Amino acid sequence: MNNKFLLTLAAGALALNVSTASAQEMTPLNSDSEPDRMDWSELEAKLGAFPTVPAGTRVGGVSKTLTNEYWRTLGEGYANIAKANDIEFVYQAAANEGDQLGQLSIAETLITQGFDALLFSPQTDANLMPAYEAAIAANIPVLNVNDAVIPTVAHYVGNVQKDNGVRVAKWFVDNTSGGKVAVIEGQPGVFAAGQRTAGFTETIEAADGLDVVASVPANWSRELAFNAAANILQQHPDLIGFYANNDGMALGVVEAVKAAGLQEQVAVFGTDGVSDAYASIRSGDLTGTVDSFPALTGEIAMEVVLRLLDGQDLPRVVATPQALITKDNVEDYATTDMAALRKILMAE
């Protein structure tokens, strides 16, 4: 083994140690309460016009899974900005939302392929940490995008997860005279699931006449959510509502409510704003969802990572929009025109 190789190896090891130490020195991120933040609508006003993107720029994206419409749509948002700026963009995901090692392998492979920046949406708060540290050691900027949070990440784009649950809880406070409600949680250990559940539960518990009688994880699975909801309805036949941490689970809950013949009694809310949720709201089955506008979030995230590559000083968190969707406003937000959606949300 020659001296030059040894020096290169030593330098690489030193860089990894320094980068890892720097990552570990970062205050663990709570993306909901981090004070170093900016709203998505302020990007141009505070940072200036969209930067000129150098020819040959390459960006890679790693998502949870493409079996969930939310993550496919997020990728479409990434691709919109990439195409408009002639960026080579690759978007890959694990086989399912439980394949943490598969997702890590994808991320580690992308790091070796010469991308200028990476967009990570981890399955859990911890599973992509090794890839994040390796990317930083290789001087590749990484942007953590909705919804699990890498604790030491320097930059994050996503909505305020706790507000998700708060919005649904306020609907029950404003539109019912009280009663029993239940939560179908996402994957245990995922920041977003915990925050959504906490926002809902804390708001319900602070209100008079409402009580959370069950809170059960269903791991983002429609089938598991159906089973959990069916069991809860057997135990609490007087239940008045469910809040599910994503739309897939909410649609499973809707099936359980129908099977129990309780559609007129039980309100069901989800989260994400996928097309099936909109269709179910229109048909009168799903009561509502909190739309976090994945295509727009993808566009915002790609803009943020390109601003990072341009050397701009961005805050640790860029917050993206969301809205509670019910039959009363479903058509107001039912647009795939991102320019029109931006105008609607900017006006709020």
Question: What's the pLDDT tens digit per position in 149-178?
Answer: 999 999 999 999 999 999 999 999 999 999
DSSP tag of 76: H
Rounded to whole angstroms, the Cα distance separating 40 from 37 reads 10
**pLDDT at residue number 348:** 86
In the chain, % helix, strand, coil (3-state, to 5) comes to 45, 20, 35
5 has a pLDDT exceeding 90? no
**Confidence grade of residue 25 (pLDDT, cut at 50, 70, 90):** low
**pLDDT at residue number 87:** 98
**Confidence grade of residue 16 (pLDDT, cut at 50, 70, 90):** very low
Q: Could you tell me what percent of the chain has a pLDDT over 70? A: 93
Rounded to whole angstroms, the Cα distance separating 141 from 150 reads 14
Q: Are strands 288-291 and 323-326 parallel, antiparallel or unpaired?
A: antiparallel
Whole-model pTM: value is: 0.90
**pLDDT at residue number 26:** 78
Rounded to whole angstroms, the Cα distance separating 3 from 9 reads 10
Q: Between 189 and 235, where is the model more confident?
A: 235
**pLDDT at residue number 4:** 31
Domain 161-291 has CATH 3.40.50.2300: yes
11 has a pLDDT exceeding 80? no
**pLDDT at residue number 23:** 47
Rounded to whole angstroms, the Cα distance separating 289 from 249 reads 11
Place of tokens 């990484």: 142
User: Which range is least confidently modeled, 23-37, 79-93, 148-162?
Assistant: 23-37
**How many C-beta atoms lie closer than 10 Å to residue 267's C-beta?**
22
Is 148:125 a contact under the CB 8 Å cutoff? Answer: yes
Pick the CATH number of 26-158+294-320 from 2.60.15.10, 3.40.50.2000, 3.40.50.2300, 3.40.1210.10: 3.40.50.2300
Longest Cα separation, the chain? 78
54 has a pLDDT exceeding 60? yes
Indicate the SS3 state at residue 323. Answer: strand
| 116 HSE (CA, 13 A, CB side) | 19
254 has a pLDDT exceeding 80? yes
240 has a pLDDT exceeding 90? yes
Query: Could you give the residue range(s) of every CATH 3.40.50.2300 domain in the chain?
Result: 26-158+294-320, 161-291
15 has a pLDDT exceeding 70? no
**pLDDT at residue number 170:** 98
Q: Are strands 317-319 and 37-39 parallel, antiparallel or unpaired?
A: parallel
**Confidence grade of residue 75 (pLDDT, cut at 50, 70, 90):** very high
In 20-151, beta strands by DSSP E: 37-39, 58-65, 88-94, 117-120, 142-145
**Confidence grade of residue 227 (pLDDT, cut at 50, 70, 90):** very high
Mean pLDDT rounded to a whole number for the chain: 93
In 139-287, beta strands by DSSP E: 142-145, 156-158, 179-185, 210-217, 241-244, 267-272
90 has a pLDDT exceeding 70? yes
Rounded to whole angstroms, the Cα distance separating 138 from 112 reads 9
Q: Give tens-digit pLDDT for 284-333.
A: 999 999 999 999 999 999 999 999 999 999 999 999 999 999 999 999 99
Q: Give tens-digit pLDDT for 263-287.
A: 999 999 999 999 999 999 999 999 9
